Amino acid sequence: MRFKSVIISFVLLTMALNIQAQQSSIVDGIIAKVGGEILLYSEWQEQIAYIKEKQAFLTDEDKCGILQNMLVQKFLIHQAKVDS
């Protein structure tokens, strides 16, 4: 009986650790889709990092502006594909 409870405890602990590891390992995600063009979270973060190299501080409004510019770029790419 004691051996059985140890095994069950071990299995439950392993499952809990596995679930926690899966939740914290999101690699990338789609944050927007414009036509057939997608914008990835990592692309946005790369742009933010690039601009942070040039200027030390970015506000939330700056980050929103970067996102807006990226969405406009994706829209223009989509429109170019549609028009051609």
The set of residues, in sequence order, having a beta carbon less than 8 Å from that of 49 and lying 6+ positions away, is none
Average pLDDT over residues 50-60: 89
Residue numbers of the domain that contains 41: 2-83
Average pLDDT for 26-39: 85
Mean pLDDT along residues 13-17: 57
> What six digits make up the tokens of 40?
């990835």
Helix or strand or coil: residue 56? coil
pLDDT in tens, 3-12: 555 566 555 5
**Per-residue pLDDT band at 28 (split at 50, 70, 90):** confident
Domains in the chain, number: 1
